[in-house]
Chains A and B, each alone.
Chain A
Amino acid sequence: DIQMTQSPSVLSASVGDRVTLSCKASQNINKNLDWYQQKLGEAPKLLIYFTNNLQTGIPSRFSGSGSGTDYTLTISSLQPEDVATYYCYQYNSGPTFGGGTKLELK
């Protein structure tokens, strides 16, 4: 199984900050990676698909990058409504999710 490791597990940031979340795969996943946002009590929402493609309706402050085993989700200017847990998800082989990064406001 491909293991997905997200860091940090908890991130505190201020409104307006540039925020970077990381996801590392245990082997090359060929950019077959999505990012999801989950707010408390809600289902996950797709933000970014295939590493760097913004899902329809998602604000442009969200962006993704990466290749091989290392991937990043960036929020260019943190907004209060971005408080959530973020998960990476690989579907290169036997889909697996990362453990999540909980994003809080400082």
Chain B
Amino acid sequence: EVKLQQSGDELVRPGASVKMSCKASGYTFTDYAMHWVKQSPGQGLEWIGTIIPLIDTTSYNQKFKGKATLTADKSSNTAYMELSRLTSEDSAVYYCARSFGGTTDYWGQGVMVTVSS
């Protein structure tokens, strides 16, 4: 069974950074890309970026360049996203989602990030 298990919800201070994880199981991690998607409260979905673990290649939505950093650890089948210099605009739910040929067929449960002092 394919599963993407994301790390727990985060409460972080403005200006800080947060790093979240997405542990994949039930498939060969390097056969698929991993997307990261943002959903602000009561809002729609935004693509943040994609990492291809096999070749450690990343691509980002221009809006999130400098904000998000995507990495992957092939030895533990885990993808990571770090968000830096957090503001209230970064308070949202963040999802990882497995992708092949563009389609994302399995999603993690989401990480809620709350930026507050």
CB distance from B41 to the nearest CB of A (A): 12
A62 within 8 A of B: no
Q: Which residues of chain A in 1-52 are interfacial with respect to chain B, using CB atoms and an 8 Å cutoff? A: 32, 34, 36, 43-46, 49-50
B15 within 8 A of A: no
Q: Which residues of chain A in 79-106 are interfacial with respect to chain B, using CB atoms and an 8 Å cutoff? A: 87, 89, 91-92, 94-100
Q: A43-B95, A43-B109 are in contact. Are A91 and B46 (CB under 8 A)?
A: no
**B107–A95 touching, CB < 8 Å:** no
Q: A43-B95, A49-B103, A91-B102 are in contact. Are A96 and B47 (CB under 8 A)?
A: yes
Tell me the complex Cα distance, A32–B102, Å: 8
**B103–A100 touching, CB < 8 Å:** no
Tell me the complex Cα distance, A99–B46, Å: 10
A65 within 8 A of B: no
* Interface residues of B, count at CB 8 A: 18
Tell me the complex Cα distance, A92–B44, Å: 19
**A34–B95 touching, CB < 8 Å:** no
Residues of B within 8 A of A34 (CB): 102-104
Our pick among B47, B109, B110 for the contact of A95 (Cβ within 8 Å) is B47
Residues of B within 8 A of A45 (CB): 107
Residues of A within 8 A of B35 (CB): 95
Our pick among B44, B61, B105 for the contact of A46 (Cβ within 8 Å) is B105
B residues engaging A (CB < 8 A)? Answer: 35, 44-47, 50, 61, 95, 97, 101-105, 107-110
Pairs of residues from A and B, 5 with the lowest C-beta to C-beta distance, nearest first? A91-B102, A43-B107, A97-B45, A95-B47, A49-B103
A residues engaging B (CB < 8 A)? Answer: 32, 34, 36, 43-46, 49-50, 55, 87, 89, 91-92, 94-100
